[in-house]
Amino acid sequence: MDYLPIFLDVAGKVVIVDGGTTVAARRIERALSAGAKVLNFDPDPGAEVRAFFGHDNLTHHARLPVEADFEGCLVAYGASEVAERDALLYAAAKKHGALANVADEKEYCDFITPSVVERDPLTIAISTGGAAPVVARILRARVEAMLPAAYGRLADFLSGYRDRIADKIKGGTARRRFWENMIEGSVGDAFLAGDEALAARLVEDDLARGDTELRRGEVWLVGAGPGDPDLLTFKALRMMQHADVVLYDRLIGPGILDLVRRDAERINVGKVAGDHVMTQDETTALLIKLAKAGKRVLRLKGGDPFIFGRGGEELEDVAEHGIPVIVVPGITAAAGCGASAGIPLTHRDHSQSVVFVTAHGKDGLLPHDWARLARHDQTVVVYMGLRFVADIAEAAMAQGVPAEMPIAVIDNGTRTTQRVVTGTLATIGNKVGVADLKGPALIVIGSVVTLRDTLGVDAVAREDVHEMELVAREGL
Ligand SMILES: C[S@@+](CC[C@H](N)C(=O)[O-])C[C@H]1O[C@@H](n2cnc3c(N)ncnc32)[C@H](O)[C@@H]1O
């Protein structure tokens, strides 16, 4: 983060706006709405600036500012679009200890002006740190569209209950949860639907019930998808924003963890082949312990928790302790990787069914019946098979699957680091060895793999290791 986000109290303080442009008008408007005493300088301001004339807190000077004007000034905005005026404004602001901001002149900016969504008293400020203001503006428009105008009034309405809630609900976690339940539950729904009287009644009901129902812990088993944070579900995101503790494993990328509520505790229970951070039993015991302590515990799993995610095993133990459990599905690696590598897992001309198998079980490589699985009209998706690609291909050929059966290995699917190696059962072992893939990786076996070339889908494939490339590079 290059800039410190803060909201400045300018009520009653002097804010200078130099210029008579449209930008000057926007600066004046915002400073006035925050209660500042605004001094505007311009010999011949445009109509948008003149529209503020007569406002109690605006003083207009029909001249250029001089250094002495900046004494006691807290914030100085340059919006004249005249280089000499900008230079004077910045120097004078510095001399008098004011924060300066000259529109579109980065070297004259102590701060940047964010894009703002206002639902008074709610204010949302969005910034890209100056890197791409248009992105911030587009985001602002989206937030505007998705945030009901009544949210500001909801904040006002609820602020009237602050003291009573603080008296009644003791403890930071319980109180935060109480607020969340009100805002996201029936109180918020009633208020946003325009029924303030019902909302008030419901708050009284909640207050009468107190925090007895809030102390119960829960376990939420949530699928985080294959890696691209945009593939999270809304529900997963919402729960990530509400959890007290998040237990995650190594398949969860940093872009996803960043979306967890800032002050939630994060515990890495992940396993890096052989190097156990925490055993399965220890993880389950921790889930139970935390939930029994009244926490909302989110177990974040890569992909879908019920597909080779041991979600079922973990939940059996948790449920035995009478702890309420919620499961949120995620996009499994097969669906994510198929889409991002341009390989449809079924296709009427190629494959009428798809099976998901894991390459190895508790005791190592599984002795699959490849002749039955890798039929000409079926796609096979193999999870956890990267280390065994050559063994799998050989076993399949030994069981009679044609050596020219197409096969793909998708490494880090849906992520910016995605790589895809395609070939046949006869060539894939060699190619994967050359490509030196690191995983996680998924194997897709079946003629649908050939569609990758015809569909031209390349959603993320940033560094695709394609057959021809490899042939050229390695002379295979
Ligand atoms: C323990 S399983 C978990 C599967 C997960 N529950 C799901 O639904 O995708 C881990 C395996 O999933 C596959 N996998 C997960 N994320 C992947 C990704 N981004 N790209 C390729 N394969 C992935 C790999 O085969 C990896 O070894």
For 3-48, how does the pLDDT look when each residue is reduced to its tens digit (9 = 90+)?
899 999 999 999 999 999 999 999 999 999 999 999 999 999 999 9
What is the structure's pLDDT at 132? 80
Peptide bond into 114 cis (omega under 30): no
Three-state DSSP at 362 gives: coil
Q: Is 414 in the pocket of ligand 1 (CB under 6 A)?
A: yes
pLDDT digits (tens, 9 = 90+) for 208-229: 877 665 566 889 999 999 999 9
Q: Which of 308, 337, 340 to mutate to test the pocket of ligand 1 (most atoms within 8 A of CB)?
A: 308
- 462/377: higher pLDDT: 377
Atom number of ligand 1 nearest to Cα 359 = 25
User: Which residues belong to the active site?
Assistant: 249, 271
Confidence class of residue 248 from pLDDT cuts 50, 70 and 90?
Answer: very high
Whether the predicted pLDDT of 475 surpasses 50:
no
414: left (phi over 0), alpha (psi -120 to 50) or beta: left
Confidence class of residue 254 from pLDDT cuts 50, 70 and 90?
Answer: confident
Phi, psi values for residue 449, rounded to 5°: -60, -35
For residue 402, give the nearest of 434, 424, 373 by alpha carbon: 424
Q: Is 309 in the pocket of ligand 1 (CB under 6 A)?
A: yes
Residues across the chain: 476
Confidence class of residue 470 from pLDDT cuts 50, 70 and 90?
Answer: very low
How far is the centre of ligand 1, averaged over its atoms, from the C-alpha of 298 (Å)? 19
pLDDT digits (tens, 9 = 90+) for 104-146: 888 999 998 988 888 888 899 998 887 787 888 888 888 887 7
**322 vs 221, 289, 299, 315, 328, CA distance in Å?**
15, 12, 17, 11, 19
How far is the centre of ligand 1, averaged over its atoms, from the C-alpha of 466 (Å)? 21
Atom number of ligand 1 nearest to Cα 301 = 6
pLDDT digits (tens, 9 = 90+) for 170-185: 878 788 888 888 887 7
What is the structure's pLDDT at 462? 40
How far is the centre of ligand 1, averaged over its atoms, from the C-alpha of 356 (Å)? 11
Label each residue of 165-223 as H, E or C: HHHHCCCHHHHHHHHHHHHHCHHHHHHHCCCHHHHHHHHHHHHHHCCHHHCCCEEEEEE
Q: Is 190 in the pocket of ligand 1 (CB under 6 A)?
A: no
DSSP code for 113: P
Q: In the predicted model, what is the mean pLDDT of residues 241-259?
A: 87
Which ranges of 193-297 would DSSP assign to H, the alpha helix? 196-209, 234-242, 254-257, 280-292
Whether the predicted pLDDT of 49 surpasses 50:
yes
- 47/151: higher pLDDT: 47
Residue nearest to atom 12 of ligand 1 (CA): 383
What is the structure's pLDDT at 469? 43
**456 vs 19, 308, 343, CA distance in Å?**
52, 30, 10
- 361/426: higher pLDDT: 426
Those residues whose C-beta lies under 8 Å from the C-beta of residue 409, and which sit 6 or more positions away, are: 386, 389, 420, 421, 422, 428, 432, 435, 437, 441, 442, 443, 444
CA–CA distance, 200 with 206 (Å, rounded to integer): 10
CA–CA distance, 166 with 73 (Å, rounded to integer): 38
How many CB atoms are located within 10 Å of the residue 270 CB? 17
pLDDT digits (tens, 9 = 90+) for 448-466: 999 998 876 654 444 444 4
Assessment of whether the complete model's pTM goes beyond 0.75: no
What is the structure's pLDDT at 335? 98
How far is the centre of ligand 1, averaged over its atoms, from the C-alpha of 441 (Å)? 7
CA–CA distance, 187 with 192 (Å, rounded to integer): 9
Whether the predicted pLDDT of 65 surpasses 70:
yes
How far is the centre of ligand 1, averaged over its atoms, from the C-alpha of 440 (Å)? 6
For residue 132, give the nearest of 112, 108, 146 by alpha carbon: 112
What is the structure's pLDDT at 29? 95
Whether the predicted pLDDT of 249 surpasses 90:
no
What is the structure's pLDDT at 25? 96
Q: Is 251 in the pocket of ligand 1 (CB under 6 A)?
A: yes
Residues 410 and 341: beta-carbon distance below 8 Å: yes
Atom number of ligand 1 nearest to Cα 418 = 20
For residue 79, give the nearest of 69, 70, 91, 89 by alpha carbon: 89
Whether the predicted pLDDT of 407 surpasses 60:
yes
Residues 18 and 89: beta-carbon distance below 8 Å: yes
Atom number of ligand 1 nearest to Cα 383 = 25
What is the structure's pLDDT at 472? 40
Whether the predicted pLDDT of 336 surpasses 90:
yes
Sign of CA dihedral 371, 375, 380, 385: positive
Q: Which of 221, 222, 248, 251 to mutate to test the pocket of ligand 1 (most atoms within 8 A of CB)?
A: 251
For residue 16, give the nearest of 109, 103, 88, 93 by alpha carbon: 93
Q: Is 38 in the pocket of ligand 1 (CB under 6 A)?
A: no
Q: Is 232 in the pocket of ligand 1 (CB under 6 A)?
A: no
How far is the centre of ligand 1, averaged over its atoms, from the C-alpha of 302 (Å)? 7
- As separate numbers, helices (DSSP H) first and strands (DSSP E) second, the chain gives 19, 21
